[in-house]
Amino acid sequence: MAGGRCGPLLTTLLAASVVALAATEGPEQAVLPAEQSRVQPMTASNWTLVMEGEWMLKFYAPWCPSCQQTDSEWETFAKNGETLQISVGKVDVIQEPGLSGRFFVTTLPAFFHAKDGIFRRYRGPGIFEDLQNYILEKKWQSVEPLTGWKSPASLTMSGMAGLFSISGKIWHLHNYFTVTLGIPAWCSYVFFVIATLLFGLLMGLILVIISECFYVPLPRNLSEHSEQNQKSEEAHRAEQLQDAEEEKDDSNEEENKDSLVDDEEEKEDLGDEDEAEEEEEEDNLPGGMDEEKSEVSDQGPLREGSVTQEEPHSPDTEVAEDALRQRKSQNASKGP
């Protein structure tokens, strides 16, 4: 009987001792520190830390094989960050699509160097030695920085971050519909199309309401008065155009009249000159003829047997006669 009673007591004591040993060994094992990563995860809430000091950032995706190959090298580079006096971070583009849009990441893995808010793209291999030489030899100084609208801190890239974050949320929602709930993909697409149309209509309604709130309609009397003023201004402009056209027509008529008067005056002046020249020629012709007659009478009768020969007219008289004939013919052609 005594041996039967001692058996359960021994078992309970052994169980208690095992539990006590487990309780004492548990904290000791928990105290042993596990090796922690020196790479700091960057999110949309703490990414502004890279604006101060010197940083190296890595953009990756968990499903990317190339990103997985560089993980060990990146961890080694982060461990030597204190020696290099540089901070090392990483960004998961699946969890942080806004940051991938802010840096406009199109390929994976992507590396960036930041120095006091000035960002540069590192296009070398993600090997520890190359990364270390890039910092120690300051090779980043020969790389053109991202300035202007390409800078992650610019307003343009902030808008791009918003678009990428919205697209990431839509993608997560699509995965929730198709994977978690088991809805067909085409049903998810129809849902997003309808949601987009409804959202556009809602935004249009909001804009109309805002415009109605800030728009102050004019009183009816003022609107009628403004319409009358517009009509009067239009009529005044039309009258001005008509006056300008009439003035142009009058000026053209006056110019035509003046040209006609000038032509008539020129014709009259030419006629007066012709008449004066004819009178002068007529006055000169009788004197010449008398002189010729007097010369003939002074010579006396010719001897008998001699042949009487008429003296030829002088060339001056013939020219004068021809000119007189031409003047007369011209006057006759002009008529009264």
Residue 120: its H or E element: strand 118-122
Please tell me the distance from the alpha carbon of residue 242 to that of residue 191, in angstroms, as a whole number. Answer: 65
Q: CB 317: neighbour CB atoms within 10 A?
A: 14
Maximum CA pair distance of the chain? Answer: 224
88 contacts 77 by C-beta, under 8 angstroms: yes
Cβ atoms of 26 and 83 closer than 8 Å: no
**β-strands 40-41, 87-92: how paired?**
parallel
Is omega for the bond preceding 109 within 30 degrees of 0, making it cis?
yes
Among the listed residues 165, 285, 321, the one whose alpha carbon sits nearest the alpha carbon of residue 329? 321
Q: Could you give the residue numbers annotated as active site? A: 64, 67
Amino acid at 333: S
CA separation for the pair 107, 119 (Å, rounded): 17
Q: How far apart are CA 156 and CA 263, in angstroms?
A: 78
HSE toward the beta carbon, residue 307, CA cutoff 13 A: 3
Tell me the C-alpha distance between 178 and 184, whole Å: 6
Cα–Cα distances (Å) from 240 to 169, 233, 245, 250, in that order, read 65, 10, 9, 15
What are the helix and strand counts (H, E) for the chain? 10, 5
SS3 59: strand
Question: Residue 324: how many CB atoms within 10 A of its CB?
Answer: 16
Q: Do β-strands 40-41 and 110-115 pair in parallel, antiparallel, or remain unpaired?
A: unpaired
Q: Which two tokens stand for residue 301?
A: 């009768």
